[in-house]
A and B are shown apart, each in its own frame.
Chain A
């Protein structure tokens, strides 16, 4: 029985794709922004996400980076319920599973396909969804990959099963840029079981460039073949400026970088299971920075600074550094005074040793491994994971008392040797990170530390000083809001919004909202 005073559950709508990288995440962010502009309380939701770039919520939970950014687009504080299951690959067939922001356990492929595990996942998803639907008016759900992978359909909790739990109509996003979009739309519909096919309420053709008149007859054919209307054709949006979720995007955006003559060359090491590489987006956006990724020692040539990013598997990463010859290359550069920075997993690699006493990190027997030896620190891995957001004050020589915001996600504990100075002082008074005696090598567990313009510029200016280039002033903080508004404008003008509101059973924009 429905109690009289019970609040109405949020309306739901879901975006799924015909393949990876069709642009779902940006479209969900755009829709969230539109509903916010229209006066609704809206939340994004992705039931299951496989990604190595995380976002840390205010209460110290870990979710997919995209859901964090979509929450910002929706103008809400991100919660762990926005992405109740996060899967972080860490070895062949091996992955860490994070349930509602917190480490659950490492599972292998076999476990993931077991029925008990699937039921457990669906229960988690259902509960988080129910909570969100009580607190918000609209939930925009996002699927993962394609719902029509027939070898995986039975275990796919990210797409149609989530749509069922949320009673959400599904919009299928197709990528026109790649060609074969019509086939992808029709084929996906054909491969869906009858009950799932009924959920698909419309197509969105994304990344369009060309003459609409030539495309139009094709849209009609798709509509006839499937009985599903096309609700929008979204133009190719070159730069949404949203952080990327996985390494596929990394392959596309930072290889074959051309360095400007007046640009600092910052080299991030392409570690296996590289994680949270969105840390460097802020650096890459600086005009005097050319960021590139290196996976061989040859590529280090000419770097003004080297950054060791986070990794899901520090042991595998250390082995990779040794085998590839990068370990030697990085040490040589550091010996010449080139600044080297380690973040999270990268910080661990900079130390003297890494000890995995329980075999949890490497996924095998206990072991002790030498680090790069550039910082007098030692790391021990524990099964407990630390996830928190924190403010910190830098005690680094080039940025004393500079404030940063950051977040930590890690399993190891790192101890400094006596006499080694910390890099940061956290808001709770603890010392964090480590810096070498000459100040050029430093490491920290704080992700996102380059977001603050003043700190970022202070460090970049040390690199400029090494080149005898004039120092620059910090840039203004970036206005994410206006970026989301631009995205919303583009999506609004290409989608049939009245049909979307129809699917939500909502009357449309509220009074006082935009339009």
Chain B
């Protein structure tokens, strides 16, 4: 059985544009008729997504899988690091939690993880014609080389040709490229078969002499210069990229509580994109204002973040806002917080203990050592709107009254009731991540808020999926316009035949 071809993208610095280039290449090769999959050995991010098998993986690879027109599977991102504190991360291997590791503990663990990473990639190569690999950070962090499994260490193990991408917008691009090559070993350097210059604005003619001498100097051919792209509708991978702004006409003001250990907030990106909605992330009572909707997102540590809510005064402020007519949605950890009590008898959620919640929903939560990770679908109880998404949580919540939010079917085929709604419907909580992805529910819910606030209702617009689809199209066009496509094809054709 032949293995799929591999091609890797590495960057000369963080934020050089690797993730988008991989998505663009995935869509481009998919357009050519190949079965394509993305792959990143290790991701450090809090935006995890549960996939069909019930495992969690990084958001970026889910997005890239969508660009590849394939279903995301955990093999595409076998290692996931979720920062718990500044020095400790929860390590997730093939979608399953291994434990909390310090930086040095993790370095030691990598030796154990590497075979698993390689097996995951081999699985993908058996299923797909082309696998596009993404590196992390810079491959020239020579102090980390000995344990590398995400950049050159991986490229060597699977003999992948590497495209190096460099961001020219901040200056010093030539030095970053030359220096990266200089710090690599001869074998590593030989893997780099092309350079992509990213985020160029200006006159290409003036840049050309510099690019020519760079190619001469390094012997690495230029594959293309990608201009500064704007207008893409894809959420950022990690918390650094949180964007929410006042950049549009809005009638609904949505305040998301920016919990210190906020997790899986890429759910909410889509709400901010909705016409008429202003989405803001807030950290204190001062910024709360008078939003019509408050969202308590997921968190890595419910009890600690609940204590933070109390410290900041948001605990009272949210209750006051609800009394004043605001709507509240709690998702996952935020849902747990809306209840009466949260008990962590086994120290699953941190140090353990019991905490009293906001008391806005008749609900009790117990933390149990087993983690629920499942893809689910179903409908809302009251309005029958279709829902689809995933659950990732440790706690189990018990409703003591009121109505459930949704009727869902999990990955195991079991049918159950999820979430809770207050009697007047203004407070609602659920374990379902991605609930706003469903256009019917999203528009229906926002319009219910509008009605309650005596605002005119709006007709549904493009769904998030449709918007992302057009972004993938734009990326593929950028590849065709600005990269040497013959070169890309040759790079693959050495090994690949269309199936």
Contacts and interface: CB of A to CB of B under 8 A. Distances in A.
Nearest to B203: A93
B175 A151 contact: no
Contact of A259 (B179, B217, B281, B289): B289
Interface stretch (A14-22, A118-126, A275-283): A14-22
A185 B174 CA distance: 11
A190 B179 contact: yes
Contacts of A221: 142-143, 183
Contacts of B203: 93
B36 interface: no
B282 to A, nearest CB: 6
A180 B137 CA distance: 7
A216 B142 CA distance: 11
A211 B175 contact: no
B182 A186 contact: yes
A182 B179 contact: yes
B286 interface: yes
Nearest to A296: B247
Interface in B157-182: 170-172, 174-182
Contact of B280 (A183, A188, A189, A258): A258
A108 B437 CA distance: 50
Nearest to B182: A186
B289 A187 contact: no
A299 B248 contact: yes
Contacts of A19: 170-172, 175-176
Interface residues of A, number: 51
Q: Which of A182, A221, A296 neighbours the largest number of chain B CB atoms within 10 Å of its CB?
A: A182
A325 to B, nearest CB: 12
B137 A179 contact: yes
B89 to A, nearest CB: 14
A248 B282 CA distance: 25
B311 interface: no
A115 interface: no
A221 B141 CA distance: 10
Contact of B140 (A148, A180, A262, A302): A180
A296 to B, nearest CB: 7
A261 B288 contact: yes
Interface string A59-93: 00000000000000000000000000000000001
B246 interface: yes
B14 A299 contact: no
B142 A178 contact: no
B172 A218 contact: no
Contacts of A3: none
Interface in B100-148: 103, 137-138, 140-144
A225 interface: yes
A152 B217 CA distance: 16
A386 B14 CA distance: 44
Interface in A240-281: 248, 255-263
A191 interface: yes
Contacts of A263: 286
A221 B143 CA distance: 8
A152 B179 CA distance: 18
A178 B15 contact: yes
Contact of A180 (B138, B210, B287): B138
Q: Top 3 A-B pairs ranked by shortest CB distance? A: A187-B179, A151-B210, A19-B172
Interface of A: 17-21, 93, 109, 145-146, 148-152, 178-180, 182-191, 211, 214-218, 221, 225, 248, 255-263, 292, 296, 298-299, 301-302
5 contacts: A149-B172, A179-B14, A180-B14, A183-B179, A184-B175
